[in-house]
Chains A and B, each alone.
Chain A
Amino acid sequence: MKAVKQKPSSVSPMEKENSSSSSLKLFGSWASSYTHRIQLALKLKNLTFDYIEEDLSHKSPALLLHNPIYQKVPVLVADGRPIPESLLILHFLDEYFPHNPRQLLPKSPHDRAAARFWAHFTDDRLGPAVAAVFASSGDAQVAAVDRFRSELRLVEAELTDGVFAGSRFFSGDQIGFLDIVLGCGSYWLAVFEEVAEVKLVDAVEFPRFHAWLRDFEEQDEVKAIIPSFNELLGYARGLRKILLGGGGGEADNDGGAVAGVEAGDMGNLQK
């Protein structure tokens, strides 16, 4: 197993209060927005954990053991038992630590169902739409941008008139499950805009989404988790070269994942 590699922006277990005697271990990848979801959740809940950085081009036997079906990050191992899939892990953290003051999912069953719905939308529709923009150029990219914008309009409409209308965040005054799911990934949008030279989030066309994202990124816990813009930029530049077949091979770091970016067979792209 690769030695633990703590990126400066990742959570330091030393700063944490341990609000439980449970042992938590997170297998992740520094550039994976799915991993960031869990790091952010753990930070919000003030839970200590050990972090294992995975090299996604050479996955550890431990990861393959803990997630044999999909062989992906993140995986949380709680008291020796593995839970893969970021959305499942987020649910698990609420349920495993029911007295933790920071519960991520809404209280009402209907709001929970709505949050789950939009979490699926993020992963199944919005994410792939962004990936398609990033992996294309020319006319194909123009079409991909159109498609992304029409997906984002649905999110904008939901923020304007839907179940979550009227609050600063999907979870109210504080960030919660859906903010974490949509937010960890949305910070890639500005990165992709720069690398792919395309406009994705127009503040005029998407005022609520724009405001929500800005507020999300301003949260202290979010700032502590998400890698810097420049780190993400370097990573994305390398990846785009590969995707567009420009050679140059390596991304600027280990692994090949821009998680939160899924589009068919994009090689090493991982959750």
Chain B
Amino acid sequence: MDRFVWSSGLLELEETLVIQQRGVRVYDGEEKVRFDSGVLLLSTHRLIWRDQKNHERCIAIPLSQIVFIEEQAAGIGKSAKIVVHLHPASSNKEPGPFQSSKYSYIKLSFKEHGQIEFYRRLSEEITQRRWENMPAAQTMQVNKSAQAGRIRAVGIVGIERKLEEKRKETDKNISEAFEDLSKLMDKAKEMVELSKSIANKIKEKQGDITEDETVRFKSYLLSMGIANPVTRETYGSGTHYHMQLAKQLAGILVTPLEERGGIMSLTEVYCLVNRARGLELLSPEDLVNACKMLESLKLPIRLRIFDSGVMVIELQSHNEEEMVASALETVSEKGSLTADEFAKLVGMSVLLAKERLLLAEKMGHLCRDDSVEGLRFYPNLFMTQS
């Protein structure tokens, strides 16, 4: 920690911000020091740490001070860390939080995650050494590599060897994984080819393939994640799975729909259902494909797609056109309303409030006033006062 200097945290002229991350604690070697909770900034020239509670308290270290970095995986109760091994501080260094330290490395602990991206960017910056091409103002300490070479500590060689071994081990694991992945993909490719040839057969023999076989085929495609090449769609991309899912959804969604005035956006449904499941979540496509089957299965809920492309689930008993009549009343009472205002009054999401007002406009009950202040709706007096 004795390599750090006090800093204003303001970037110099030639210095650019690369990435920043909140929730980072700095350790002096293995020891916790009073640098608990800060924003860590990586620039082309430096690593800067600013205290989140006291923005004036800010320390920095030039990237040239770094020998190499290592990742330390997260553990139970422990955040992931980056270990930064440093050259010794230069003798004419500006003042910093520590005069001396028994460690030649620091640790950065990512309590709010973000270590993956940060590590990637930091490695890039250390490799590219952009600070050498863009010398920044005099106030920064640039460590000359010659000087560093002379004072290089013996312990670092041992660490480097360990790192090299670990790298080789990791490389071996990775390359084995990639090899296995390639072999797997080759087999998957065979499945894709086979499905294409079956799809062609089905296209040619339209009418000779039973409904049942088509459904079977679709379920095979679903398992593999292959897009359905057959255009003949009775149930959309539906399979038995989606039919079952549709029935399930009808069961789960009736109560939430009743609580929300009979209508919910598909995005809300996606979040609601997946939050409830916890595991074995639905993909967005699963949800859409299941919802497309609701109508034909005569279930108590249905899918509706507005002109804007917004998709909603409604109770069968819900009649949006009737809701328009009450919307008109509300707007008339207030003189005029924006989607935001209407949403707040009625207790709906802004997205659905806007769709209702647009529908009312489409039906001729409301007029719009479109200005930079927003989209405002008025009762359509052209209709009512002739």
Report if A and B associate in a common complex: no
Residues of A near any B CB (own CB < 8 A): none
Residues of B near any A CB (own CB < 8 A): none
